[in-house]
């Protein structure tokens, strides 16, 4: 359970003598007796003079609950006395939850104003105000349906015409959280009593003091919000900038969580705690992924999966943490407090994860620039302050440790606003993170532009090498289709008409993507076109292409099939690891040698067969058989064989609609009577 922010209104007490000219006289308490009316001679005699006074006490106080204690006729002289300037836990009842009653008998001087009002500062936790036995106001809800509300401002209650009587305050203190010190309960500052005008002035003075004390907090929250908005806009413009998105989530969580904790947003304590739990989880996870990228650890797939798993676990732990706030609203529910403490231990472990990532970057000796090491340093300092504060404040009502409170206590005051070490560390961390993310994103954008330009150049090279028109070859009907994938692949083909009739077809697939693949394609296509002037042997062409690729390429390999179709329908083919062609729907067995670029002395045997009139020979690249649908199923060889008698365009359409995953190239060759040419 995250600690609730408490706002103390001690400034009202200090400001009251300056704003008002009041005198308070407290008579000694009466002796114990039966439940009869307490004489006004034993009451507080207040001379308001049109102003207001601080009801410091002593107040008659008693633990427990009985609505009869609101009556002026009840004799409270046997009750103990407490001051109104600090909680009952800081006086005589530490670690005490449940109901408690405050009673104060009041008598007014003759020149008192005609009407009076009451200003009650923060009370821990819910309370009701009774004047002369009548309920005049409530803040929050008391059992049996307790509902606690967070509010930074005091509450005003109009008591009506001025008359002497009894002021009673019925307080409900809910169960202690794991961060509570045990000194809470009841008044945290004394109420003010005075004329409605004076109470309104006191409330205005309190609001001014509170706003002045919060101006640094508002400035920091606004800075976080500004960074979040800018990062969200940048991410919406370019969804590839995932680092910018995590920066936006980190800033967004830190901008909104103080609004719920401070009570500015009118939510119950349970709702505020559950909301801030989610925001803290978002901030933690965002910081993890920011460090993965900024510390150059995102290339470790196992580490990334571990961080994702830990993120799921943290959000799963946040669900029961929300219900602990509801459970601790019941008195004596120690079990919920132990559950809350256990979950806090889990969160403390999660807060150590950034420190582990920093240590991992140091162990792996990542070569990071000065900006990224500054991120690591400020994350380390910020997380160490947070972890130490959580661990030392946890269970402080049993350990009585005060160092945790000292860490989060203000170091100094600037323009009326307290400044703590956590404020300084979080601000510096935000600035360094924003600068590092901006610098990383700019470098990444430049790299992406360079890659896109390289891909564009590769597409231009590849499109130049793919024949725009198929030559007309008497006796053969030839059809080709080339469908590039999103990235520049390595598919290529060439159709060369032979001088004595017939045609030479080359089809292949280079391993790799982008410009390297395009350059290898240009090398092989240029070699094939040159060799076609000197030899028509498919095996010799493949052997020469293999030697050229070994001499010029830097790694990688290429599958390739070379086919010569003579004018009489005789076909001669040699294969270098490429897919076998299909003849009238059946796979044609062509002995396959090693792909090009793997061995220096590879040889490629040739086979011959005859293409009968009307028969169709179909050549494919693996972009057809390796097409993949949304479930991950491959198009496969059986489907490819089944449609191999269709036109090249129909085959390519079928593979593309199934789920294109790579370049698709299809060549079909049919033998026809002389005079039939490619259309």
Structure tokens at 90: 């800081």
380-387, long-range: CB < 8 A, 24+ apart? 380/354, 380/355, 381/425, 381/429, 382/422, 382/425, 382/426, 382/429, 383/351, 383/352, 383/354, 383/355, 384/355, 385/421, 385/422, 385/425, 386/351, 386/422, 387/348, 387/351, 387/352, 387/355
Strands 616-620 and 582-583: antiparallel
Residues of the chain predicted below pLDDT 50: 1-44, 328-332, 675-679
Nearest to 192, CA basis, from 17, 394, 54: 54
**What pLDDT is stored for residue 289 in this prediction?**
92
Q: What's the pLDDT at 342?
A: 66
Domains recognised in the chain with CATH numbers: 10-209 (2.60.120.260), 217-449 (1.20.1070), 466-671 (3.60.40.10)
Are 21 and 66 in contact by the 8 Å Cβ rule? The answer is: no
Query: According to the model, what pLDDT value does residue 83 have?
Result: 93
φ/ψ (deg, to 5) at 337: -70, -40
pLDDT, position 678 = 43
Q: What region does 97 belong to: left with phi over 0, alpha with psi -120 to 50, or beta?
A: beta
Q: What is the pLDDT of residues 602-649, one digit of tens each?
A: 899 999 988 888 889 999 998 899 898 888 899 999 999 999 999 999
Q: CA-to-CA distance for 235 and 248, rounded, in angstroms? A: 9
**100 vs 29, 83, 151, 155, 331, CA distance in Å?**
19, 14, 21, 19, 13
* pLDDT the model gives residue 339: 63
> Would you state the pLDDT for residue 260?
62
Q: Angle 370-393/269-294 helices, nearest 10 degrees?
A: 150
Tokens found for residue 92:
């005589």
Is 7 in contact with 193 (CB distance < 8 Å)?
Answer: no
From residue 428, alpha-carbon distances to 32, 356, 362, 529, 627 in Å are: 61, 21, 22, 64, 51
Partners of 412 in the beta sheet? 419
Q: How many residues does the chain have?
A: 679
pLDDT of residue 2: 38
Question: Tokens standing for 228?
Answer: 């979040």
């Amino acid at each position: 359970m995250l600690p609730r922010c408490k706002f103390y209104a001690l400034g009202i007490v200090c400001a009251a003598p300056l704003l008002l000219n009041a005198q308070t006289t407290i008579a000694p308490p009466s002796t114990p007796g039966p439940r009869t009316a307490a004489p006004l001679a034993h009451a507080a005699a207040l001379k308001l003079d049109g102003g207001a006074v601080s009801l410091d006490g002593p107040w008659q106080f008693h633990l427990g609950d009985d609505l009869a204690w609101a009556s002026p006729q009840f004799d409270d002289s046997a009750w103990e006395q407490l001051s109104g300037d600090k909680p009952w836990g800081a006086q005589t009842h530490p670690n005490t939850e449940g109901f408690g009653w405050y009673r104060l008998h009041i008598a007014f001087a003759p020149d008192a104003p005609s009407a009076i009002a009451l200003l009650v500062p923060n009370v821990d936790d819910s309370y009701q105000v009774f004047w002369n036995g009548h309920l005049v106001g409530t803040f929050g809800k008391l059992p049996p349906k307790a509902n606690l509300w967070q509010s930074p401002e005091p509450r005003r209650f109009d008591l009506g015409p001025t008359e002497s009587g009894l002021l009673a305050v019925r307080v409900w203190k809910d169960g202690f959280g794991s961060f509570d010190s045990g000194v809470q309960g009841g008044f945290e500052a004394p109420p003010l009593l005075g004329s409605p005008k004076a109470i309104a002035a006191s409330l205005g003075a309190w609001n001014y003091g509170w706003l002045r004390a919060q101006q640094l907090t508002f400035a920091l929250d606004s800075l976080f919000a500004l960074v979040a908005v800018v990062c969200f806009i940048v991410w919406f413009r370019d969804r590839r900038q995932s680092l910018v998105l995590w920066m936006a989530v980190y800033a967004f969580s830190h901008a909104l969580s103080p609004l719920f904790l401070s009570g500015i947003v009118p939510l119950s304590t349970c709702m505020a705690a559950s909301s801030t739990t989610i925001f803290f989880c978002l901030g933690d996870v965002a910081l993890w992924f920011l460090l993965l990228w900024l510390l150059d650890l995102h290339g470790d797939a196992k580490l990334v999966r571990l961080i994702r798993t830990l993120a799921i676990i943290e959000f799963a732990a946040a669900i029961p943490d929300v219900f602990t706030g509801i459970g601790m609203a019941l008195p004596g529910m120690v079990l919920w407090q132990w559950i809350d403490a256990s979950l806090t231990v889990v969160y403390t472990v999660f807060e150590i994860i950034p420190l582990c990532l920093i240590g991992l970057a140091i162990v792996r000796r990542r070569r990071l620039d000065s900006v990224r090491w500054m991120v690591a340093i400020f994350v380390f300092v910020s997380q160490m302050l947070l972890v130490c504060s959580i661990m030392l404040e946890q269970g402080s009502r049993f350990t009585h440790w005060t160092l945790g409170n000292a860490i989060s206590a203000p170091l100094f005051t600037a323009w009326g606003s307290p400044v703590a070490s956590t404020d300084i560390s979080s601000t510096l961390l935000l600035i360094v993170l924003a600068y590092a993310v901006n610098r990383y994103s700019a470098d990444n954008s430049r790299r992406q532009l360079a890659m896109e330009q390289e891909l564009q150049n590769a597409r231009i090279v590849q499109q130049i090498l793919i024949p725009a028109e198929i030559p007309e070859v008497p006796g053969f009907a030839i059809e080709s289709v080339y469908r590039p994938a999103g990235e520049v692949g390595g598919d290529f083909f060439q159709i060369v008409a032979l001088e004595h009739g017939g045609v030479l077809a080359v089809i292949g697939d280079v391993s790799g993507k982008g410009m390297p693949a395009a350059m290898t394609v240009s090398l092989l296509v240029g070699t094939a076109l040159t060799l076609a002037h000197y030899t028509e042997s498919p095996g010799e062409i493949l052997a020469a292409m293999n030697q050229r690729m070994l001499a010029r390429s830097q790694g990688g390999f290429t599958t390739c099939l070379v086919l010569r179709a003579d004018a009489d329908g005789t076909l001669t083919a040699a294969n270098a690891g490429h897919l076998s062609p299909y003849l009238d729907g059946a796979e044609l067995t062509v002995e396959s040698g090693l792909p090009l670029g793997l061995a220096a002395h590879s040889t490629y045997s040739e086979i011959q067969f005859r293409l009968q009139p009307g028969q169709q020979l179909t050549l494919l690249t693996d972009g057809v058989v390796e097409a993949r649908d949304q479930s991950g199923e491959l198009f496969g060889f059986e489907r490819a064989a089944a449609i191999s008698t269709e036109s090249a365009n129909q085959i390519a359409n079928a593979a593309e609609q199934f789920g294109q995953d790579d370049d698709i190239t299809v060549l079909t060759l049919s033998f026809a009577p002389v005079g039939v040419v490619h259309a």
